[in-house]
Amino acid sequence: MPELPEVEICARELSAHLRGQTIRRIETPDNKIHLPRDLAGCRIKEIDRRGKFIIVQLEDERRILIHLGMTGWFVFRPPSKYRLALEVNDGAAYFEDPRRFGKVRLVSAAQQEQLLAELGPEPLAPGFNLRHLKRTGRPIKVALQDQHLVAGVGNMYASEALWRAHIHPKRPADRLADDELRRLRKSIVYVLRKAIAYGPQIYEVQRFTVYRRKGEPCHRCQTPIERLVLGGRSAYFCPQCQRFDRGSPRT
DNA sequence: AACGTACCCTGCCGGC
DNA sequence: TGCCGGCAGGGTACGT
């Protein structure tokens, strides 16, 4: 499940292969992806990321906005099945996405601005903080995954960051103390940065402390990890380290 | 407005 | 061994 780190790595790889190149041909075998043929001849100026979106900036100020969905990623040699091929003068990028939840669309600069304006702050940008989460009473994990509140955090890194910060996923966001929010902010930045540091190997070297480890021992206290469903999504946590009724961890 | 839920889609897992 | 139902899980659209 691509979240901020995976999307960041994907964007960097795309940049390495496509930046400065001119589009030669676009192929969209998937009937849910539509890109105009006239993109051929257009030069790719820059590739950026905002939240979980990849932004391919074209020379003519149009942008290809890409969301990887759950199973999307790019490869640079033709795979057996792909939803989009972007051929450039020196190479090509192929969009693989078995579950087809990914989205690709061409937008104007103004449309991009409008779409991405609704995203919350970037966790890795300077000045990032979680003070605004005090304005919602939703469970903290649900709030963290709301892209309007924090951009780029999804199910796995939300669980990982909450474990690291000793905070129960169900705690109402508006009842977190200042030091808890501070701890959580640091934990988010830590888990995201660490994942990005893995680089393209991320899918092979991913090591989770709680995510998908139900029943296995907590890395800190050996208590079996538990799973609960929040906002229709799995939350993994250590019932010992992340008490619902106790704000602060024992240090 | 804010929150909960169904849906999209397909690979994979467990049960029989 | 093989089949099959159900689940996971991003975002979004919709109902309350």
List pLDDT tens digits, range A46-62.
999 999 999 999 999 99
Nearest by Cα to A138 from A130, A146, A128, A148: A146
Give one DSSP letter per residue of A180-205, joined into a string.
Answer: HHHHHHHHHHHHHHHHHHHGGGHHHH
CA A7 – CA A1 distance, rounded (Å): 10
- Give the pLDDT band of residue A209 (cuts 50, 70, 90): confident
A2 catalytic residue (yes or no): yes
* pLDDT for position A181: 95
CA to C1' distance (Å), from A70 to C12 = 14
Q: Is strand B within 7 Å of residue A138 (CB)?
A: yes
CA to C1' distance (Å), from A200 to B14 = 32
Residue closest to sugar C1' of B7 by CA: A101
- Give the pLDDT band of residue A125 (cuts 50, 70, 90): very high
Q: Is strand B within 7 Å of residue A99 (CB)?
A: yes
Q: Using one digit for the tens of pLDDT, what is the confidence trace for A144-163?
A: 999 999 999 998 899 999 99
CA to C1' distance (Å), from A190 to C6 = 36
Q: Using one digit for the tens of pLDDT, what is the confidence trace for A102-119?
A: 999 999 999 898 889 889
- Give the pLDDT band of residue A203 (cuts 50, 70, 90): low
A46 catalytic residue (yes or no): no
- Looking at every residue in chain A, the average pLDDT score rounds to 90
- Give the pLDDT band of residue A248 (cuts 50, 70, 90): very low
Rg (CA), chain A: 20
CA A140 – CA A104 distance, rounded (Å): 30
Q: Judge contact between A85 and A94, C-beta under 8 A.
A: yes
Task: Return the C-alpha torsion angle A147, A148, A150, A154, nearest 10.
Answer: -20
* Full-model pTM: 0.93
Q: Using one digit for the tens of pLDDT, what is the confidence trace for A157-180?
A: 999 999 999 999 999 999 999 999
Q: Is strand B within 7 Å of residue A172 (CB)?
A: no
**Residue A1 has what DSSP assignment?**
-
Domains of chain A in sequence order: 4-116 (3.20.190.10), 131-237 (1.10.8.50)
Residue closest to sugar C1' of B6 by CA: A232
* pLDDT for position A14: 95
Q: Which residues pair with A93 in a beta bridge?
A: A86
* pLDDT for position A212: 81
* pLDDT for position A172: 93
CA to C1' distance (Å), from A187 to B7 = 33
* pLDDT for position A26: 94
Kindly state the average pLDDT of the residues A68-75.
Answer: 92
Output the six-digit token pair for A61: 């100020």
A50 catalytic residue (yes or no): no
Output the six-digit token pair for A216: 């296995």
Nearest by Cα to A107 from A56, A153, A32: A56
Looking at chain A, the whole-number percentage of residues with pLDDT higher than 90 is 69
Q: Using one digit for the tens of pLDDT, what is the confidence trace for A2-15?
A: 899 999 999 999 99
Q: Which residues pair with A151 in a beta bridge?
A: none
